[in-house]
Amino acid sequence: MTAELWSRIRDVLHELLESAPEARAKILDRVAATDPELRREAESLLAEEAGASALDCTVGSASLNVDRAPARVGAFRLIRQLGRGGMGVVWLAERDDGQFSQQVAIKLLPPFYTDPDMEARFRRERQILAGLEHRNIARLLDGGISDDGQLYLVMEYIDGVPLDTWTRERSLDLEGRLKLFLDVASAVSYAHRNFIIHRDIKPGNLLVTAEGQPKLLDFGLARVIDETAPAPAITQTALTMLTPAYASPEQIRGERLTAASDIFSLGVLLYELLADEHPFAKAGQTAVEVQNAVCQSEPPRPSRVNGHLDADLDNIALKALEKNPLRRYATVDALAQDVRWYLEGRPVSARAATFWYRARKFTGRNRALLSVGGVAVLAIALALVAAVRESRLAQHRFDDARKLANSFLFEFDDAIKNLPGSTPARSLVVKRASEYLDGLMAESRGDRPLQMEIADAYQRVGAVQGDPAFPNLGDSKGALASSLKALAIREALARADPSDSRLRLAIASIHQQISDVLGFSGNIAGAVEHSGKALAIYQNLSASLASDPKLKLELVIQTCNHANLLRSTGHLDEAAAEYRRAVEISQRLVEGDTPDKEARFYLATSLDGLGYVLQEKGDTAGALQNRQKGLAIREQLAASDPDDAHFRRELAFSHHNVGLSLVESGDPASALTHFRRELSLFESLSSADPRDVQARRNRSLAHKQIGDVLMRNGDVSGALDQYRKSFDIDRALSSADPGNAQALLDLSFSEGKLGLALGESGHAREGLALLRTGVARQEALLTRDPNHILMYGHLANSYTRMANYLGASGDHKSAIEFYRKAVAARLRLSEKSSASSSNRGSLAECYTNLGKALAPNDVPDALRQYGKAVELLEPLTLADGANAQYRIALAETLATTAGLYARTASGEEAGSRRLQQWTKARAFYERSRNLWLELDRSGKLPAAGSRSLSEITRELAAIDDSVDRLERVH
Amino acid sequence: MADSKAALDDMAVLVYEELRRLARQYLSRERTSHTLQPTALVHEVYLKMLAQYSVDFSNRGQFLGVAASMMRRVLMDHARTRGQAKRTPGLLIDIAETKQAPVDLLDLNRALQQLGALDARQEKIVEMRFFGGMSIDETAEVLGLSPATVNRDWATARLFLSRQMRGDSVADQ
């Protein structure tokens, strides 16, 4: 082009630009008439209007960027920049190779790659990521290295807004937010199943489309960058690229990552969706401050921030945000399931305090092996793959591992299609996992972080095999072997570096797991030993890190765990001692400089535990005292935070426990006050949240408890009313969740109780039918889960009720049969579990009942049964001076025995035989009278007792009379 | 007038040195952003020159005209040095407000030189606007033109540059 031509073109362009678009064609035609070339040039330049506006930069707005963007990448033309971040610059681009038009997002990665192996690694990762196909994941379409050496990734272009903006702008309600979260979780879970960890989940990486569909961007990109970057200089770069507010503690510390890290980030996301506030970061904080907060501070319960939230949601979010990866949800699916269950109004698996969770699993929990779904398997697969992906092992090893882990998952998936009865699948899991970890371990020499990871994987495998605290495969032996391997690795590592306190905590955690496994498989001594070792580690650590109140609190929890184990295995004295220690430590924390609610919470927990074990030991006075102390603290906690459902629930439990001790100490009137208080708390909890199944169940339990006390006081119609309410709740709960064994058991209880009360109030047929239904229900439950030993106790009670009922209606033969069944069930229970005093008391009652039923027709057998009852009861009354119940039972049994001897005496022909029987009768009456008098002195003589007392006085006089007459005759 | 011209030439050297020093500082590897605001930089230098050398420019526009030219040189130097190190030359002009694709500085410079060969005045206008951050009025005043003329020249210059640069990038493939 010449200057002359340009000058002419310029004039034409001036004219064109200043005229309206419709006039332009005319001008161009005029120009063409004289100079066709001029027209061509003008037209072509005019077409640049859009591009030229890019150059119309406003003063001060232009900046220079070091990164060079090529105009094209592969088959794509870059259109405009969409954003930039630590991971590079993202461009909107368009396919313009003429094949088809497609808008994509292209990410140009930061240019710091010099490693010759880089390209291969980059391609491998890219290929893996390209395999991810999920409706909530922005797809990776292509990627490569441009001619000028720039790495790029081509991704599906998402026209959406960041998640946080979306929820804010649409003022989305809770349900909408949780559903959005579930979509995100399903994307992450899908990726985890494909062995990809996201590593950078945050609102900025989550775009919501106009249809409300969230799309997760940049899957595994952090990994690509890490993997592709020349180590180690870049690690730091990669770290600083992360957003610390969403990174997990282990990520901030620069450790190897597992899927648990993504679960943490999801937890942050969930927390923000719930509370509209970040759990750790506050405005104006520096990155370092945020990092510290993530690693150290505990976020407030979301419900403290947003008062409308349920405690279950608190628990879910906080469980995902546990600092210790092992304490988080094992998988994203488990997290999502809890959220889904919350939305469906079902109870969630997350529990506020480990203590209660742990405590429960030794008590009445249904131990049926939970179905072994993908959850458990994934836990293994992910632990393995995480270990492998993070390892710096040779390439072939990496590929092998991936292949193995893949086959692991898919073979297993196929195998479990034929559930139930998945034995082949089980052995496959265990075999593969163990082989694999053993192989990896052999190659890991000297690689400390990898060995730690392998130990984690062994622990996980062990948990899946048979930790009763989790859904498991029921393979206790395998679980023990895997757990011991984890222990051995960690102990070796600890020998090399004894100062690593986190490692020592990990050792404590594996000891706890071993203890759980041993306890479940019946090795009580072993269970206690390992639980004690876990506790010792906490004790040592908290002694050496005396200033750490968090650790002290952990020590309290661990002490309570150990005490629970001791208690449930019959080591009542040791258990009491541990609870006392827990009380002492938490008491000091409460009195310390920074007393917090948590310390008071655990003080109450420890006191309650102590009360429980004292009651079981038979120290009713001690039990009552400690339970009342716990109650007072929980009153304060609930008053200080009236909206906290959790505190109110705990308070209700305290009322229940105090009520129980009051019943034991013979004060049913005071007990009733507490049970009624308990009931009203649960009523308000369940009306505040009608979906709270647990609150409804507790309401039903309180009705039963009140009914029992009324029944015992002879108020049958009052009791009937309570039992009916309980029955209605239980029936509704069970039909809402038909597979739930606990709900079925609850229903069987209310059937039994209601049936009995109906019988007492003159509805014999109805009552018997209900009793039979209840008994059959429990027998079915025991068949379903023979390991549920506590079911024997329930059955014994049901048999007894049944027998009482049959006896009262005149069917003595059937009554005796059921009493015998009750005795047999109680005996099975004392065989299987260590003999607790309450079971021995109940067994005595069964013998007495059987004896009474036998007495009319078979005196010797009846006396034998009474004898057994007395034999059991006497030591119990001696051991527990404050327990009125055992004394009452013993006094009654002694009087009944005496009565039977007196009756047989009058049947004897021979005078000497008669005298002998009278003497025995007198001795038994006297023992009974002494007990009644003793009860009277302590103000605990029941109405039946005073009746019995006057009867005894009459009987003794009659015996004296008869003996006198007999002696006069001789 | 001659004195004033000489003073400007002398000053250009100083301005160049100062701009180069600042640019190196802004674009150094130690900084995370790797960005600089050329127009802000030019104004920074202007203020510094006033304070340090108590130079009396006839007006601010005159200085900016010189500074814009120097700024262009500084950036070009930088782009070329980087280019030697990185196999491909390139600095990117990132225009935040318009959300348009950033422009490669070397491409722009090449197109600007081509424009200059056809019309030096248009090259100068673009330089002042682009690298000096000068307004239409300021540019018009310094060059002794009417703002309307500057506006027209600026508009056609951009069409030319845009076409040239696209042609470059197509030819690059």
Taking only the tens place, the pLDDT of each residue in A239-298 is 334 567 888 888 877 676 777 889 999 999 999 999 988 998 876 666 667 777 888 888
Pairwise CB contact (< 8 Å): A53 & B34 = no
Identify which of A60, A70, A149 has the shortest CB distance to residue B39.
A60
The residues, any chain, with a CB within 8 Å of residue A347's CB and separated by 6 or more, are A312, A341, A693, A694
Residue A232: cis peptide before it, omega within 30 degrees of 0 = yes
The residues, any chain, with a CB within 8 Å of residue A427's CB and separated by 6 or more, are none
pLDDT at B101 over 70: no
Pairwise CB contact (< 8 Å): A53 & B173 = no
DSSP state at residue B67 = H
pLDDT along chain A (970 residues), means of 10: 88 87 85 87 83 60 49 78 63 75 76 52 70 86 71 84 86 90 92 78 88 84 53 33 74 75 94 91 69 84 82 88 83 87 71 36 27 42 50 45 49 44 54 69 71 77 68 72 93 88 88 85 81 93 76 87 81 89 91 76 91 87 95 92 81 94 92 95 85 83 94 92 95 83 87 91 90 92 74 88 86 93 89 66 90 91 94 83 80 92 82 85 92 86 85 89 79
What pLDDT, on a 0 to 100 scale, did the predictor assign at position A62? 46
Taking the Cβ of residue A98 and every Cβ of chain B, the question of whether any pair is shorter than 8 Å is answered with: no
Cα of B24 vs its chain's centroid, Å: 16
Buried b vs exposed e over A366-391: b needs ≥16 C-beta within 10 Å? bbeeeebebbbbbbbbbbbbbbbbbb
How far apart, in Å, are the Cα atoms of A437 and each of A388, A405, A430, A460, B56?
10, 11, 11, 12, 79
Q: What's the number of CA atoms in the CB half-sphere (13 Å) around residue A872?
A: 25
Q: Which bin fits B12, alpha (ψ -120 to 50), beta or left (φ > 0)?
A: alpha
Tokens in use for A364?
Answer: 């009445």
Cα separation, A784 vs A764, whole angstroms: 31
Which residues numbered 135-154 in A keep a CB inside 8 Å of some CB on B? 148-149
Pairwise CB contact (< 8 Å): A63 & B37 = yes
What pLDDT, on a 0 to 100 scale, did the predictor assign at position A361? 30
Identify which of B36, B89, B165 has the shortest CB distance to residue A63.
B36
Quote the minimal CA–CA distance from B2 to chain A in Å. Answer: 30
Cα separation, A542 vs A550, whole angstroms: 9
Best CA proximity match to B89, nearest among B73, B105, B68, B69: B105
Pairwise CB contact (< 8 Å): B92 & A49 = no
Q: Quickly list DSSP for A721-761.
A: HHHHHHHHHHHHHHHHSTT-HHHHHHHHHHHHHHHHHHHHT
Neighbouring CB atoms inside 10 A of A424's CB total 12
The residues, any chain, with a CB within 8 Å of residue A502's CB and separated by 6 or more, are none
Helix H segments across A148-258? Answer: 163-169, 174-193, 221-228, 233-241, 249-252
Cα separation, A144 vs A652, whole angstroms: 63
Pairwise CB contact (< 8 Å): B159 & A45 = yes
What pLDDT, on a 0 to 100 scale, did the predictor assign at position B127? 87
Determine contact, residues A555/A538, Cβ cutoff 8 Å: yes
What pLDDT, on a 0 to 100 scale, did the predictor assign at position B58? 59
Neighbouring CB atoms inside 10 A of A421's CB total 8
Task: Find, in chain A, the residue whose alpha carbon is nearest to that of B44.
Answer: A60
Tokens in use for A499?
Answer: 């100062």
Q: Please, which residues bridge with residue A93 across strands? A: A78, A104
Determine contact, residues A162/A206, Cβ cutoff 8 Å: yes
Cα separation, A899 vs A904, whole angstroms: 9
- Mutation for testing the B interface, residue in A18, A55, A239 having most B CBs under 10 Å: A55
DSSP state at residue A137 = B
Taking the Cβ of residue A6 and every Cβ of chain B, the question of whether any pair is shorter than 8 Å is answered with: yes
Pairwise CB contact (< 8 Å): A56 & B27 = no
Determine contact, residues A445/A438, Cβ cutoff 8 Å: no
Secondary structure of A822-887 as H, E, C letters: HHHHHHHHHHHCCCCHHHHHHHHHHHHHHHHHHCCCCHHHHHHHHHHHHHHHHHHHHHCCCCHHHH
Determine contact, residues A28/A43, Cβ cutoff 8 Å: yes
Pairwise CB contact (< 8 Å): B100 & A6 = no
Pairwise CB contact (< 8 Å): B162 & A68 = no
Neighbouring CB atoms inside 10 A of A789's CB total 15
Residue A36: cis peptide before it, omega within 30 degrees of 0 = no
Pairwise CB contact (< 8 Å): B119 & A81 = no
Q: Give CA torsion, residues A473, A476, A482, A484, to 10 deg.
A: 150
Q: Please, which residues bridge with residue A214 across strands? A: A208
Quote the minimal CA–CA distance from A91 to chain B in Å. Answer: 9
Neighbouring CB atoms inside 10 A of A4's CB total 9
Cα separation, A472 vs A368, whole angstroms: 10
Determine contact, residues A462/A479, Cβ cutoff 8 Å: yes
Task: Find, in chain A, the residue whose alpha carbon is nearest to that of B112.
Answer: A55
Q: Please, which residues bridge with residue B95 across strands? A: A62
User: A436: burial class by Cβ within 10 Å (0-12, 13-18, 19+)?
Assistant: buried
Q: Please, which residues bridge with residue A161 across strands? A: A208
Cα separation, A485 vs A463, whole angstroms: 13
Q: For residue range A782-792, what is the model confidence (pLDDT) as tens digits?
A: 887 776 667 88
Identify which of B104, B133, B158 has the shortest CB distance to residue A59.
B133
Taking the Cβ of residue B169 and every Cβ of chain A, the question of whether any pair is shorter than 8 Å is answered with: yes
Taking the Cβ of residue A53 and every Cβ of chain B, the question of whether any pair is shorter than 8 Å is answered with: yes
Question: pLDDT higher for B151 or A59?
Answer: B151
Determine contact, residues A646/A598, Cβ cutoff 8 Å: no
- Mutation for testing the A interface, residue in B24, B94, B165 having most A CBs under 10 Å: B94
Cα separation, A119 vs A121, whole angstroms: 5
Cα separation, A805 vs A843, whole angstroms: 19
Residue with tokens 């990174």: A247
Task: Tell me whether strands A72-73 and A151-156 are parallel, antiparallel or unpaired.
Answer: unpaired
Identify which of A2, A80, A111 has the shortest CB distance to residue B99.
A80
Which residues numbered 101-160 in B keep a CB inside 8 Å of some CB on A? 101-105, 117-119, 129-130, 133-135, 152-153, 155-156, 158-160
Taking the Cβ of residue A51 and every Cβ of chain B, the question of whether any pair is shorter than 8 Å is answered with: yes
Task: Find, in chain A, the residue whose alpha carbon is nearest to that of B151.
Answer: A14
Determine contact, residues A87/A221, Cβ cutoff 8 Å: yes
Taking the Cβ of residue B5 and every Cβ of chain A, the question of whether any pair is shorter than 8 Å is answered with: no
Tokens in use for A436?
Answer: 């694999």
Which residues of chain A make contact with B105, given a CB cutoff of 8 A? 64
Q: Is the dihedral of CA A343, A349, A350, A353 positive or negative?
A: positive
Which residues of chain A make contact with B97, given a CB cutoff of 8 A? 57-58, 61
How far apart, in Å, are the Cα atoms of A729 and each of A196, A684, A733, A816?
46, 15, 6, 33
Task: Find, in chain A, the residue whose alpha carbon is nearest to that of B152.
Answer: A14
Taking the Cβ of residue B93 and every Cβ of chain A, the question of whether any pair is shorter than 8 Å is answered with: yes
The residues, any chain, with a CB within 8 Å of residue B19's CB and separated by 6 or more, are B41, B42, B45, B67, B70, B71, B74
Cα separation, A562 vs A558, whole angstroms: 6
Identify which of A14, A54, A70 has the shortest CB distance to residue B156.
A14
Best CA proximity match to A666, nearest among A346, A335, A942: A942
What pLDDT, on a 0 to 100 scale, did the predictor assign at position A576? 93
Cα separation, A723 vs A736, whole angstroms: 20
Task: Find, in chain A, the residue whose alpha carbon is nearest to that of B162.
Answer: A52
Determine contact, residues A695/A689, Cβ cutoff 8 Å: yes
Backbone phi and psi for residue A78, each to the nearest 5 degrees, phi listed first: -75, 135
Determine contact, residues A358/A402, Cβ cutoff 8 Å: no
Q: Report ipTM (2 d.p.).
A: 0.82
Q: Is the dihedral of CA A535, A539, A544, A550 positive or negative?
A: positive
Identify which of A48, A63, A69 has the shortest CB distance to residue B162.
A48
Q: For residue range A590-622, what is the model confidence (pLDDT) as tens digits?
A: 887 666 778 888 899 999 999 998 988 878 999
Taking the Cβ of residue B30 and every Cβ of chain A, the question of whether any pair is shorter than 8 Å is answered with: no
- What does the pLDDT average to over B19-47? 62
Please report which helix (H) or strand (E) contains residue A90, including its range: strand A88-95
Cα separation, B79 vs B108, whole angstroms: 12
- Mutation for testing the A interface, residue in B42, B136, B158 having most A CBs under 10 Å: B158
